[in-house]
Amino acid sequence: MKDERKIAGSLALRVAELRVSAPNGLLLLSVEALTVSPGETVVIKGPSGAGKSTLLYALAGLLPATGDICWGDTNIVHLNDRARTAFRRRHMGFVFQDHLLFEELSAEGNAALAAAYAPKAERVTLKTSANEHLTQLGLGGHATRGIASFSGGERQRVAVARALAGNPAIVLADEPTASLDRPAADRLIEDLVLLAEASGRTLIAVTHDTHFHARASRVLNVLDGVLQPEAPHG
Amino acid sequence: MADLWVSLPNGMQDLALFFALLAPALVTGLLTLRGFAPWGLLRGMLRRHFWVSITFIVLIATSVAIGTGLIAQERGLRRGTAQAADKFDLIVAAPGSEITAMLAAVYLQPSDIPLLDGETYQRIAEQEHVSLAAPIAFGDSWNASPVVGTTPQFVAHLSGTLAEGEVFTTVDEAVAGANVPLAIGDTFTPSHGHGDATDDGAHAGYHYIITGRMEPTGSPWDRAILVPVEGVWLIHGMPNGHDDGWSGDPGPPFDPAYFPGTPAILVRAEQLWANYALQSAFTTSETMAFFPGAVLARLHSLLGDVRDVMSMLAAITQVVVAAGVLTGLVILMRLLARRLALLRALGAPRRFVFALVWSFAATLLGTGTAIGLALGMAAATVISRIVSERTDILIRAQLGWPELHLVAAFFSITVLLALVPALLALRRAPVADLRST
């Protein structure tokens, strides 16, 4: 599977002294330092409630945080909500555990969802890209079908197409295989990893799935809200 | 500016007011939706919540229909009754209730009214500037149609040219109103009285033959049969209104000595001012002169007060329904919170989420308002038809500027209120909603 499309730049991630707290002041997440090179596939593991998803949402700029979260030269902690939203739209794609698709839309409508709020000049490109990704994911003949008639695996592939439609440099996935059976999960892992690697995208996935762990270049561990130091290579 | 406004034709003023009332909705829509294309998502939301959307639309449509239908119906009734009285400039009757006399003489409602004598008729007919003084003698009927004794001149005044046939030229001829189920050449025997008090055999042996049919007037006279007043007097065993040398041609001049009496006289003067002089002259202890138009104006004023109260109640209903719908939307938005959070996570601007929620509400409100306007007009048309059939007063409930102004104001106010659920949707935390199931 090759993806020759031009992605929206290569962005290295550098996190330093990241703290995420609940509104009542309770510390939810602490990351002293983390770096991810462009094009890496990184998996975050840890027990339920450890703070894996909190880390993922913080990296997306969806949670108020202190410290530094630098994607390339952009420290998103210092951006206002509007700028963070614009950054997500330009540079990030998301895949969620339970698809989070719009049931009443077609596969194409879901994959090209961003066309509804993207600048007018980008809408055609987005729709074309969404259709190309659907084809790459084996759903080319089903683009106009309603999502309600799709299987769980197909739905998650539509969600991947949606995440990649804007050709983002970063793909964030939150338990993307949790609701799938083994064959569907394996296919999704392959699709996600290959599509990310083929175009130099950074893929960061929160997952318990050991098959996914095996396909990652690095596996990070979060325990009790703290990102654990990585074991030395070799 | 005020001068410019006054100088505009009425139609332009109404159009300008309509757009001014609609402007807040249009401007809000343009500003909110600028740069976005939420139509696919919007259609999806409407499909997903089809029955909820239908329920909201029906509620809004019903409240709008009540308001617009009420206004259109009241205006149609006012115009219809005014048009029916248009030909009746001045009525002279015995002193009593102007409303009773008007209902009897103009709207042909059965009523016992004392008779005016021949000398009174003579004085009226001989007044300078009087162009028409027609006795209107009611009391008989045929098959629920009032049989009214009058003069050929009154028939010409009421109908202009006849739709077919000719005006009566002998005492046993008659002219049918536009809706009377008798053809030219048909004969009939009138009954004494109206409705339940009808005495069918009182005038046995007397026959009228239909010689003409009037043009439609949009009044109860379309249901009436007009006969020579002399004929009415004769079949009641009274003199025919003329002396022994009468040629037999119906109509004035009448001889006061042989004039049995008439409950009402329609008077028409050559000039408008002369009508006022005549009203003054015949407002005495023996006669009552009144303008049906003025009596109607008083009734319409009363009707207008009732309309104001009902319009206010309709407006309150609309506000309550709109508030209920918007509250329902707030609840519905909680159900949609996860999807809206997803959009935020994917990078949709807050303004897009705001626009999506607002356009969902505005679509329901706009559709409900448009359907309500159509429903209101349909209901008013049906009710007008029923009232017209029962009263023979032609009532046309048509879409008018007041209804359009009402719906424009309603739509603008409610779509502005719809900003509230849209704003509330933005106050939610996306991550918390994304994690909810």
Hey, which residues 152-191 in chain A have their CB within 8 Å of chain B?
162, 166
Residue A1 lies in a domain: no
Residue B420 lies in a domain: yes
Residue A174 lies in a domain: yes
Residues of A in Cβ contact (< 8 Å) with B343: 113, 117
Q: Does A109 touch chain B (CB under 8 A)?
A: yes
Residue B1 lies in a domain: no
Alpha helices (H) in B336-349, listed in sequence order: 337-346
Please state the domain count of chain A.
1
From B29's Cα to the closest Cα of chain A, the distance in A is: 16
Q: Give the domain extent around A213.
A: 13-227
Quick check: B349 and A82 CB within 8 A?
yes
Residues of A in Cβ contact (< 8 Å) with B345: 60, 62, 88, 94
Please state the domain count of chain B.
2
Distance CA B400, CA B14 (A): 10
Same domain, B244 and B105: yes
| Per-residue model confidence as pLDDT tens digits over B149-194 | 999 999 999 888 899 999 999 989 999 999 999 999 999 998 887 7
Same domain, B119 and B150: yes
Distance CA B386, CA B382 (A): 6
Same domain, B56 and B160: no
Same domain, B175 and B242: yes
Q: Give pLDDT tens digits along chain B (437 positions).
A: 778 888 888 889 999 999 999 999 999 999 999 999 999 999 998 998 899 999 999 999 998 998 888 888 888 888 888 888 888 889 999 998 888 989 888 888 878 888 889 899 999 888 888 888 999 988 888 888 899 999 999 999 988 889 999 999 998 999 999 999 999 999 999 888 777 767 667 677 788 999 999 999 888 889 999 999 999 898 888 888 888 888 888 988 889 888 899 999 999 887 778 888 888 888 988 889 999 888 888 888 887 777 778 778 878 888 888 888 888 888 888 888 988 999 999 999 999 999 999 999 999 999 999 999 999 999 988 988 888 887 777 878 788 888 899 899 999 999 999 999 899 888 888 888 888 76
Same domain, B103 and B178: yes
Residues of B in Cβ contact (< 8 Å) with A86: 347, 349
Task: Please count the residue pairs, one from chain A and one from chain B, whose beta carbons lie less than 8 angstroms apart.
Answer: 81
> What distance lies between CA B349 and its chain's CA centroid?
52
Whether the Cβ atoms of residue A156 and residue A174 lie closer than 8 Å to each other: no
Residues of B in Cβ contact (< 8 Å) with A166: 347
Distance CA A30, CA A18 (A): 6
Same domain, B51 and B94: no
Residue B211 lies in a domain: yes
Quick check: B41 and A116 CB within 8 A?
yes
Class of residue B109 by CB neighbours under 10 A (exposed 0-12, middle 13-18, buried 19+): middle
A72: CATH: 3.40.50.300
Residue B9 lies in a domain: no
Q: How far apart are the first and last CA of chain A?
A: 30
Same domain, B73 and B95: no
Nearest CA in chain B to A49: B435
Among B290, B311, B332, identify where a domain stops: B290
Residue B63 lies in a domain: yes
Q: Give the domain extent around B303.
A: 19-83+299-435
Quick check: A60 and B345 CB within 8 A?
yes
| Per-residue model confidence as pLDDT tens digits over B319-366 | 888 888 888 888 888 888 988 999 999 999 999 999 999 999 999 999
Whether the Cβ atoms of residue B262 and residue B91 lie closer than 8 Å to each other: no
Quick check: B339 and A100 CB within 8 A?
yes
Residue A119 lies in a domain: yes
ipTM, 2 dp: 0.90
Whether the Cβ atoms of residue B384 and residue B69 lie closer than 8 Å to each other: no
Same domain, B307 and B200: no
Residues of B in Cβ contact (< 8 Å) with A114: 346-348
Residue B8 lies in a domain: no
Same domain, B105 and B223: yes
Among B263, B290, B317, identify where a domain stops: B290
Q: Does B430 touch chain A (CB under 8 A)?
A: yes
Residues of B in Cβ contact (< 8 Å) with A49: none
Same domain, B264 and B133: yes
